[in-house]
Structure 1
């Protein structure tokens, strides 16, 4: 697989979101299956794996996904780029004490679960508005200098937030929602990231399955499945977005691939510093997504596809400006 550079890190041009093995998409597969799927992704050529300390609610426990990823990748740790995220609660923040102590405590726990002595990319998993961003950015800089992390990032933030953090400790990446039906990043954030050499790690690049054509108005989401709350996946909006799904199906037939692969190929063609990290708990789907790297759009094909997308109205919008106080995830935790 081709590689891309974000900050000082070299990663496969398509990464792998591992959350679904622990929660978020209904019933999870057995541990042995999950580990085999992660290793199959590596065998194909994926070197960029994404997890978080909070992945593992409901059926399991926070930290479950990190433990699973650690088991799967410990023998090939030096060959891969590992990203995880921390979540800081307001209750654990004491203004009179260094924020670094909080980060170090979370990081030490993640290192143990992941069976490693460093993290390549460490994100703040949604900004907590009760905690100064400047203090977190400075603490991340100290962790980099100490060799405990190689780079840091933020998630679901607008360009204004990036600028504040970038002035204190240069960012490696921002992990934001980005897909054919969620394109807020294109307005200001992507140009800024290109200028500052910050990678955009795109989560949900297939719009939680909508753009694959496999989700219909009759699809039922149960349990802890976060798709119950994805705006584009309400019955009304699925119907409204059908012209986009049909457009992709036509392109998939034309290019002898899948609709999901067209989505990822479009993203790779459009920006050189964007790395999609589709997530799935299904080994077949994981390998299908990675094989999008084999789908090549010519300049003329890309322009035609882009024109077709621009002619379609998008129904349902989530956006990228989310904090712990204003978060999509808060909605589904109340369920």
Structure 2
């Protein structure tokens, strides 16, 4: 690691703070702040990784909340476009969306944001929730009927202002539709050039195997972080066996691993963390051991806690590509620095042992939400 990179890390918070403060002032001041951040992060290298045969930046960006935040406020659309542009300028080429985000609106924001460099990035979207194709209204349950998938993708292409989805996921497994039928619909879309790769999210492991057999998968998406390590004994070994990439969503533990949450934090109505057992007052206190761990390592590596959490994920497998989401420019810039954190073999072993020694208290999701994960698709009759 060069001295210049180390100095850039030390300067990040000052520069990013300046940028955040400039968000509501003159264009000249905002431009000056952006230039300061650019200088502070100039030595960082994003790098590239492979999800199956698909090459992407070693870290991506989730755009899920760019139409509304956890607190149900609405971010400024032009600022979301600036974040997307700035991410691309720093080497991030992997952008994750879904029809359910908004619904529909996040795809529009992403399509607008990448319009000038569409052919230089990989964009994903997801189908599977029961969403009205025209209005975006969410209805109960799931819908992965083949005819619905094809119409859903047509809508995605219009909203994303593109002729193809680079990586299309089934968002959740539909317990009414055999996965082979889903694969057949995706295969038809591939034959038309409208979809290039496909994947699954939060699926049962037998469904994962059946889907890959029917139509080879490029990637699997699941929650994975120091706060939730379930995939280590489930999806990740199967992905390694089959040559499938792995994309962790919520890689910062819904913001917990950045150190922004403590035992006095209370969440706004509409914030999913307000109903997650792991963030209740009785559970959050013991879980703060993870926050202290990443803070200790951040000081040791002259980095930020969230960067340590992301670097740890990327150190687990060379085909893991986290997609931290944000609606804040300073946070995006901080996340973009994570691939520059170098962990030696000995440091990875030490950090892994420390993470494994901390028992996380509380369930990761409410029962009603968890019920949609680890589902097995029905067999064909």
2:130 is the alignment partner of 1:89? yes
Alignment of 1:1-335 (within 5 A): 1-26=46-71, 27-56=73-102, 62-89=103-130, 99-318=145-364, 326=372
Cα displacement (A) at 1:139 = 1.1
Kindly provide the CA deviation profile for residues 29-73 of structure 1, in whole angstroms up to 9, marking residues without a partner as x: 2101111011111111100000111111xxxxx211000000000
Gaps of 5+ in 1: 57-61, 93-97, 329-335
Cα displacement (A) at 1:323 = 8.0
Q: How many residue pairs get matched?
A: 318
Cα displacement (A) at 1:9 = 1.3
User: TM-score, normalised on structure 2?
Assistant: 0.79
- Mean alpha-carbon deviation: is it higher for 242-251 or for 114-123? 242-251
Q: Is the 8 A contact 2:173 2:372 kept in 1?
A: no
Cα displacement (A) at 1:303 = 1.1
Cα displacement (A) at 1:324 = 9.0
Cα displacement (A) at 1:188 = 3.1
CA RMSD of aligned residues (A): 2.3
User: TM-score, normalised on structure 1?
Assistant: 0.89
Runs of 4+ residues over 6 Å off in structure 1: 321-324
Q: Is the 8 A contact 1:212 1:260 kept in 2?
A: yes
Q: Following the alignment from structure 1 to structure 2, what is the Cα–Cα distance between the partners of residues 3 and 90?
A: 34
> Taking structure 1 as reference, are residues 212 and 88 closer, same or farther at Cα in structure 2, changes over 3 Å only?
closer
> Taking structure 1 as reference, are residues 199 and 323 closer, same or farther at Cα in structure 2, changes over 3 Å only?
farther
The structure with more radius of gyration:
2
> Taking structure 1 as reference, are residues 295 and 90 closer, same or farther at Cα in structure 2, changes over 3 Å only?
closer
- Mean alpha-carbon deviation: is it higher for 42-51 or for 238-247? 238-247
Cα displacement (A) at 1:24 = 4.8
Kindly provide the CA deviation profile for residues 213-266 of structure 1, in whole angstroms up to 9, marking residues without a partner as x: 111122232243222233322222211111111111111111110111001111
Cα displacement (A) at 1:138 = 1.5
Gaps of 5+ in 2: 1-45, 134-143, 375-381
SS at match of 1:208: coil
Cα displacement (A) at 1:290 = 1.3
Q: Following the alignment from structure 2 to structure 1, what is the Cα–Cα distance between the partners of residues 82 and 368?
A: 33
Q: Following the alignment from structure 1 to structure 2, what is the Cα–Cα distance between the partners of residues 172 and 289?
A: 24
